[in-house]
Amino acid sequence: MSQPDFSVDVFQNEYIPEGGRDVNAVVTVTSPDTVAAAAAADLGAAEIIIIDCSGSMGGTDGSRTKMAEARSATAAAVDVIRDGVAFAVIAGTHKALPVFPGDGSLAVADPRTREAAKRAVANLRAGGGTAIGQWLRLAHQLFASYPAAGLRHAILLTDGKNEHETAAQLDAAIRLCDGAFSCDCRGVGVDWEVGELRRVSTALLGTVDIVPDPAGLADDFTAMMQTAMGKQVADVALRVWTPRQATVRFVKQVAPTVEDLTGRRVQSGPQAGDYPTGAWGASESRDYHVCVEVPPAAVGQEMLAGRVSLVISSPSGPQVLGQGLVRAIWTDDEALSTRINSQVAHYTGQAELAQVIQEGLEARKEGDEETATAKLGRAVALAQRSGNADTANLLAKVVDVVDAATGTVRLKKKVEDADEMALDTRSTKTVRTKK
């Protein structure tokens, strides 16, 4: 089935100084209002919910245990799965066990299988350790057993650290799953490691967030599954072609979140490489910052510095969904060559914002108050300058802001763990600038 075109808009300052090499552009990609029909997308679509059932999930947080809230959240997510989508539920401890179906297969969603899944989930109990890599490996095995031609998506919930396997074992499991399915990760409470779940979500093109109160799990699971059910075009790649002697310095997604895709390039032809973007829903828009290094040229010369395309695999070969061009023009007019495109400037600041937040929080953990204050102060200034109010509000729970414009702050003496973890997990969320 042919896919409707995506729009690809390029925003840049084409002018660079005589002898200049770097060409920067922000590429906005927007999916059409109507993509492939849901029925077609469901042919081969698969969902897996991975629930931490370790002993700590039985600890009480409020009036109900985390395990009880996780059972309710899983049932709520199962209710959202559309008829015709294959699905399964995995229980994760120091090993991974199929909860539904119990034979380690995937069931096809309909009223009967959804009710059967919820009955099986109701019997989940807390006990055992935590080995996230084992959970991912079982999910990979289940996805591999089903001919999934469409969306392959998992939700992973944990409340603790990956204590029953090594970091190398987790990394090996992540590498195994890379490209096989996407995974949204959630940590409930404050006893889990942001860095561990971020490694999973980044590699598997998903999201990571904190649910500090277990009572919020059902709403969060429902929202994640609704988003997944809205994805109708899977395995889309951003293909960047450059002329000979030109090289791609980096490709980063910069909205709605910052994700560096540079190291995920797969060569797709002479002078062309593909960068994974995952699955897309209708009317979805994302921004990418592309930087290309070109051979220097004389004043007045012009060249095509890059061609950016959206491509999807099909039985007849790669299908181009949309395309945009990145240009370079050499000039001796300083007013032209020093003008920074507003979109490029905005997202350069947003990428720096994410970086200095993470560096500042790490310095704070290590007791380096001087570095933490400088980094988080810079973050406050960047957040205000870009209008990122959500991040500014999260920062205000970690530092006392003296002057936002200059980034003058003081570290708070006491910070709630949930507030610090929320700032960390959401540091990569960006705000868009008007085109």
Q: Could you state, in order of their start, the residue ranges of all structural domains in the chain? A: 7-34+234-334, 39-229, 343-425
Residue range 344-357: mean pLDDT, rounded: 96
Q: Say if residue 63's pLDDT is above 60.
A: no
pLDDT band, residue 282 (cuts 50/70/90): confident
Residues 375, 376, 379, 381: is their CA dihedral positive or negative? negative
Q: Say if residue 289's pLDDT is above 50.
A: yes
pLDDT in tens, 217-241: 999 999 999 999 998 888 899 999 9
Spatial separation of the C-alpha atoms in residues 198 and 155, rounded to whole Å = 13
Q: Say if residue 132's pLDDT is above 60.
A: yes
Q: CATH: 1.10.1040.50, 2.60.40.10, 1.20.120.1690, 3.30.465.10. Which one for 343-425?
A: 1.20.120.1690
pLDDT score, position 3: 60
Spatial separation of the C-alpha atoms in residues 431 and 391, rounded to whole Å = 9
Q: Say if residue 198's pLDDT is above 60.
A: yes
Question: What angle, rounded to 10 degrees, do the helices at 111-121 and 66-80 form?
Answer: 170
pLDDT band, residue 351 (cuts 50/70/90): very high
CB contact at 8 A, 256 and 318: no
**pTM for the structure as a whole:** 0.93
pLDDT score, position 33: 83
pLDDT in tens, 320-343: 999 999 999 999 999 999 999 999
Q: What is the four-CA torsion angle of 358, 361, 367, 372, rounded to 10 degrees?
A: 80
Question: What angle, rounded to 10 degrees, do the helices at 167-177 and 194-203 form?
Answer: 20
pLDDT in tens, 14-30: 999 999 999 999 999 99
CB contact at 8 A, 160 and 191: yes
- Can you identify the CATH homologous superfamily of domain 39-229? von Willebrand factor, type A domain (3.40.50.410)
Alpha carbon distances (Å) from 344 to 102, 156, 241: 51, 34, 20
pLDDT score, position 43: 54
pLDDT in tens, 98-131: 999 999 999 999 999 999 999 999 999 999 999 9
Pairing of strands 259-260, 247-255: antiparallel
pLDDT in tens, 298-314: 999 999 999 999 999 87
- CATH class held by domain 7-34+234-334: mainly beta
pLDDT score, position 5: 84
Per residue in 280-303, is it b (16+ CB within 10 Å) or e — as a string?
bbbebebbbbbbbbbeebeeeeeb
pLDDT score, position 40: 39
Q: Say if residue 418's pLDDT is above 90.
A: yes
CB contact at 8 A, 3 and 282: no
pLDDT score, position 37: 41
pLDDT score, position 38: 42
Percent over 70 (pLDDT), the chain: 95
pLDDT score, position 35: 54
If you average pLDDT over every residue of the chain, what do you get? 93
Q: Say if residue 153's pLDDT is above 60.
A: yes
